[in-house]
Amino acid sequence: MKKLLLTSVVAVMVSATALAGCSSNKNANSGSDGGASGTPVNTASASDNKAAAGNIFELGSKPLEFTFYGNYDWYTMPNWGDDLATQWIKENKKVNVIPVQSGGDAKTKFNTMIVSSDLPDVIWMDRGPDVEKLRAADLLVPFDDYLDKYPNLKTWLGDAGINMLRSEDGKLYQFPNWYTNQPNGNSGYVVNKKIYEELGSPSLETTDDLYNYLKRVKEKYPKVVPFESGLAKDGAALDVLYSAFGEDHLATFVAIRGVPQDGKLTSIFTDPVFRESTQYASRLYREKLMTQDALTQTRDQYKEKVLNGQVAVFADSSPTEFGDIGTVTLKAKDPSAGYIMVWPIHKPGLDKNKIWPGTYGQLGWNVSVITKSAKDPEAVFAFLDWFTGPEGQRTIFWGPPGLYQDGANEDGFAKFTEKYVTDHENRDKLMSITNNFQWNGNTVYIDKSKAAFEASLPEESKNWATKWQAEITWKTQANATEYVNLLPAPDSEEGIIWTQLDDMFKQVRAKALMAKSDAEVLSILDKAESDAQAMGYEKLQTFMTTKWQENVKKMKGN
Amino acid sequence: MSKIIANNNIVPKQRTRTGAITYFFRQWELQLMVIPAIFFIFIFSYVPMYGTLMAFQNYNIFKGFWQSPWTGFDHFQLFFHSRDFWPVMRNTLVISILKLAIGFPAPILLALMLNEVRKMMFKRVVQTITYLPHFMSWVIVAGFTISILSTDNGSFNILLHKLNIIDEPVNWLSTSEYFWTILVSANVWKDIGFSSIIYLAAIAGVNQDMYEAAAIDGASRLKQMFLITLPSILPVIIIFMILAIGNLLNAGFEDILLLATNPALRDVSDVLDTYVYRMGIQTSRFSYATAVGLFKAVISVTLLTIANLLARRSGNSLW
């Protein structure tokens, strides 16, 4: 008895594991709640006057030390000051950050810290219900009084973005990461150049072209996977294919399980675009044109195939990562091999310039919050704001001034030194460490700095991913900011419906992919629709529609 | 060792006259050694038990245990009426019974076979190889099960293809019909060696004179196995059987979670523990998860008691 009880209780605590991690950068649609509904914005900007009286904390004027916790299973913060970049900050700005680690089990750690009222000064986490929970329990420090005193966030994110991030009470509690106001993202199709050329470089524009091409690959190259899907149970290629069957049909619609129609969210299961794309994907799987491991493979298996050139076409939400390494690996053996990207595939008859395989969100990926445990929250905010500003970004990205970057050029963007090019091995090493300190990434600053520099390089030394980002992916990602934070809190009635629906959706999608015929795909989706309605799908969609419309209003209002 | 135990077995019979306290102090060294274990069990097994009360309230981590509202049996009702209840119970029982029917006798068989091996070197090598997988975590075992059975580059498919048994790779991991077989095989492979250790130890304790006598009477090795070895280790087998029945609702957790990666397999793979994990933990519905866990515990205790009652008839019960 005791053992069994213990087991169940411990299981409850211990297995809280996974989840929180691996949110990657599909975030534009993942978060929820956060700071959406309710009160009109802008009420807070001049609200409390008590702290407004001047007194700006100047970074470096006195030592600042705070604890930092990254709420992800996969995240381990490296020691502050062990690398050149943070060492420089420690010495010149007198800032020391003490890591609090998740130990691979973020959810448990997070809950334990709340229960024992032992919160770290800063928590780095996903936007959404967890932030809202902390705020509702009055554990977070609002930033409104600091925004004007430390202007970087306001300058780079803008008021519209700040308003989107505000909580129900009209105040701002979250410091965003990788926020942006220009398209970014890598979603799209990557094609094996060698196979493509050997097959006579046929046209690859429509879904029919793709289907015929895959059939030819299967005939000629029995050992090659014609279409690699990535981890299809998380969406991956299936989401990308969805976009091919409808103009302005964003992958986000699949993620929020709702398709906007006349200002309302409607069922995904009855969406003709979803139905057609699911049939198409199912046909690829059935005829063994898509990898049969689509639903079971690990990321390593997927990577192995791409790196071996064993894949003819692959699509994913960020295929540039493997496309880049794959090209380098294949080129080492055969200079004519490698991967190229193609313009997003579309269903015949659609406008190819209205096909969006990926999305980006102005609010970026995740956020940092300052808890009431912080002794001097203003100083912490001052640091975060400096960190997201030009000097902070240059330092944490490319090391201390004088090494790979040396201050700003006339446009304010990073000025790179010669070492940046010649010493790329050590540079990459440094960057792979400081990568883990990018808590307040300023996308526009970083991308513009890189793009300007990359443009000055000769064709052959351009980075593979940067090249295709400039030529294709950045032009084909849609803005999905209005769809962020739609999810209900998990313990609310709508939240429970969402959980059940989400759970069912994953199962339905897998079953539909493995269906024996196109007709079976439709019958699976029809059954899903009636099951979903029985769960209360409509009620959920009404809730999400309200939140979405609030977002639209906030974005227009500013 | 066996002498000490034998002596202790005799002592209790005199105890009634000398009194419990005197008896306690007479063996104070032994009692001293038990104390840490009692503390351990008390702190880690009994103290956390108050947490199961969570099942009867809407637990809120900010309000804490004392301020959360009470809801009675709501969470239990929610579970019993959910459409997942019957499929989950069915999978739990089927997987569990399969594991019991195949996973329980397997180590006994291995132990009996190893006992017949006369070459010590060979016996030790086999023993080491079979018990090592027990120490690997399921993450690793599932990792290579998946890569061995995958369709692209999976070694098992390549092997079958080279042997001309199949023309096209079989999609082992996504076909629901194969799932239980894969799961049970992986379990047997992982634990057979380790579980057989206890039986080997029991076999080693069998009086060698009996074999000698049987051999003189002309019993074959097979006869000796069935008439001497098996009956001699029967008490051990029965004790383990009782424990296994008490564990019947523990159909597995990590193994299923890691092997059934394809959501389409859920019809055959979802068991109580994975259900608790998905519904409860992933969405922070602590109370609901605790209710399902408590339900499982109650059933398990009942099963254990029944199994023990049955075993008492053979004189080998736990209590």
With beta carbons under 8 A apart, name residues in chain B contacting A514: 174, 264
A236 in the same domain as A346: yes
Residues A458, A343 share a domain: no
State how far the Cα of A70 lies from the Cα of A440, in Å rounded to an integer: 13
Lowest mean pLDDT among A15-24, A160-169, A402-411, B273-282: A15-24
* Start-to-end Cα distance in chain B: 23
Q: Same domain, yes or no, for A386 and A333?
A: no
pLDDT given for residue A22 in this prediction: 36
A2 touches chain B (CB under 8 A): yes
pLDDT at A557: 64
Q: Is residue A47 part of a domain?
A: no
Any idea which residue has 């017949």 for tokens? B116
Same domain assignment for residues A368 and A472? yes
Q: What is the pLDDT averaged over residues A4-33?
A: 38
pLDDT digits (tens, 9 = 90+) for A257-296: 999 999 999 999 999 999 999 999 999 999 999 999 999 9
Rounded CA gap, B243 and B240, in Å?
Answer: 5
Q: Give residue A53's pLDDT band: very low, low, confident or very high (50, 70, 90).
A: very low
Strands A64-70 and A95-100: what pairing?
parallel
pLDDT at B84: 83
* Range with lowest mean pLDDT among A141-145, A324-328, A426-430: A426-430
Enumerate residues 281 to 300 of chain A having a beta carbon within 8 A of any beta carbon in chain B.
288, 291-293, 295-298
Q: How far is B199 from chain A (nearest CA, A)?
A: 24
Q: Which of A542, A468, A553, A494 is nearest to A42 (CA)?
A: A553
Residues A177 and A80 in one domain: yes
Please give the model's pTM, rounded to 2 decimal places. Answer: 0.77
A 220-239 residues with CB < 8 A to B: 225, 233
Please name which of A9, A1, A274 lies closest in space to residue B301, comparing C-alpha atoms.
A1
Compare CB distances from A293 to B151, B278, B280 and report the shortest one's residue. B151
Grade residue A68 by pLDDT with cuts at 50, 70 and 90. Answer: very high
Do A294 and A196 sit in the same domain of this protein? Answer: yes
Q: Is A23 on the interface with B (CB under 8 A)?
A: no
**pLDDT given for residue B155 in this prediction:** 92
Hey, are the CB atoms on A296 and B146 less than 8 Å from each other? yes
Is A203 touching B (CB cutoff 8 A)?
no
Task: Enumerate the residues of chain B whose CB falls inside 8 A of the CB of residue A23.
Answer: none
Q: Across the interface, do B263 and A115 touch by the CB < 8 Å criterion? A: no
pLDDT bracket for residue B16 (50, 70, 90): low
Among the three residues A465, A481, A497, which one is the final residue of a domain in this structure? A481
Q: Which amino acid, A199?
A: L
Chain B interface, best mutation among A5, A217, A298, by max B CB count within 10 A: A5
Structure tokens at B157: 């498919």
Residue A424, pLDDT > 60, answer yes
pLDDT for A48 beyond 90: no
> A284-288, A322-326, B151-155: which has the highest mean pLDDT?
A284-288
**A230 and A327 belong to one structural domain:** yes
Query: Rounded mean pLDDT of chain A?
Result: 86
User: How close B300 comes to chain A (CA, Å)?
Assistant: 8
Q: Judge whether A72 and A20 are in contact, CB under 8 Å.
A: yes
Q: Would you call B262 and A510 a contact, using CB atoms and an 8 Å cutoff?
A: yes
User: Mind telling me how many Å the CA of A126 is from chain B's nearest CA?
Assistant: 14
pLDDT number for residue B18:
63
Are residues A192 and A176 located together in one domain of the fold? Answer: no
Q: Which of B41, B146, B266 sits opposite A2 (nearest CB)?
A: B41
Q: Domain boundaries in chain B?
A: 1-56, 75-312
What 8-state DSSP symbol labels residue A314?
A: E
Instruction: Please say which residue of A452, A481, A510 terminates a domain.
Output: A481
- Residue A195, pLDDT above cutoff 90: yes
B174, A12: Cβ pair inside 8 Å? no
| Domain-located, residue A68 | yes
Per-residue pLDDT reduced to its tens digit, B196-251:
999 999 999 999 999 999 989 988 888 999 899 999 999 899 888 888 888 888 88
Judgement on whether residues A510 and A428 belong to the same structural domain of the protein? no
Closest CA to B138 of B196, B92, B189, B97: B189
Residue to substitute from B41, B58, B282, B285, interface A, most A β-carbons within 10 A: B282
Q: CA of A311: which chain B residue's CA is closest?
A: B152
In this complex, is the C-beta atom of A14 within 8 Å of any C-beta atom belonging to chain B?
A: no
Distance from CA of B62 to the nearest CA of A (A): 7
Number of structural domains chain A divides into:
2
* Beta carbons of A1 and B297 less than 8 angstroms apart: yes
- Reported as a pLDDT band with limits 50, 70 and 90, residue A183 is confident
**B134-144 burial string, b = 16+ CB within 10 Å, else e?**
eeeebeebbbe
Per-chain mean pLDDT for chain B:
86
Residue A30 placed within a domain = no
- Domain range for A319 is 188-356+486-558
Same domain, A238 and A299: yes
Higher pLDDT, B36 or A160: B36
pLDDT at B5 over 70: no
CB contact under 8 A, A292 and B151: yes
Q: Is the pLDDT of residue A406 over 50?
A: yes
Residue A472 covered by a domain: yes
Predicted pLDDT at A39: 36
Q: Is the pLDDT of residue A455 over 70?
A: yes
Q: Same domain, yes or no, for A211 and A312?
A: yes
Q: What share of chain A in percent tops pLDDT 90?
A: 57
Listed residue (B249, B301, B296, B304) closest to B76, CA to CA: B296
Residue A218 lies in a domain: yes
| pLDDT higher at A405 or B17 | A405
Give A 498-517 residues with CB within 8 A of chain B: 499, 503, 506-507, 509-511, 513-514
Q: How far are the Cα atoms of A294, B17, B145, B173, B262 from residue B148, in angstroms, in the given order?
A: 15, 66, 5, 10, 16
Better pLDDT: A297 or B61: A297
pLDDT at A26 over 60: no
Please write down the HEC assignment for all residues of A201-225: CCCCCEHHHHHHHHHHHHHHCCCCE
Average pLDDT over residues B273-287: 78
Question: Cβ contact (<8 Å) for A11 and B64?
Answer: no
Restricting to A residues 103-142, those with a Cβ less than 8 Å away from any Cβ of B are 107, 111, 114-115, 133, 136-137
d(CA A433, CA A82): 10
A374 and A350 inside one domain: no
Topology of the domain covering B75-312: MetI-like fold (1.10.3720)
Nearest by CB: A2 against B45, B147, B261: B45
β-sheet bridge partners, residue A66: A97
Looking at this predicted complex, what is its ipTM?
A: 0.76
> Where is the domain boundary, A434, A452, A481?
A481
3-state secondary structure of A270: coil
- What is the mean predicted confidence (pLDDT) over A202-208? 95
Q: What are the C-alpha distances in Å from B305 to residues B94, B135, B296?
A: 21, 31, 14
Q: Tell me whether residues A296 and B262 touch, CB distance under 8 A.
A: yes
CA-CA distance, B158 to A289, in Å (whole number)?
A: 19
Helices (H), A412-492: 419-422, 424-434, 443-455, 464-471
**Structure confidence at residue A51 (pLDDT):** 43
Residue of A nearest to B149 (CA): A293
Backbone angles phi, psi at A396, to 5 degrees: -75, -20
Cβ pair A292:B171 closer than 8 A:
yes
**Which CATH number is A84's domain given?**
3.40.190.10
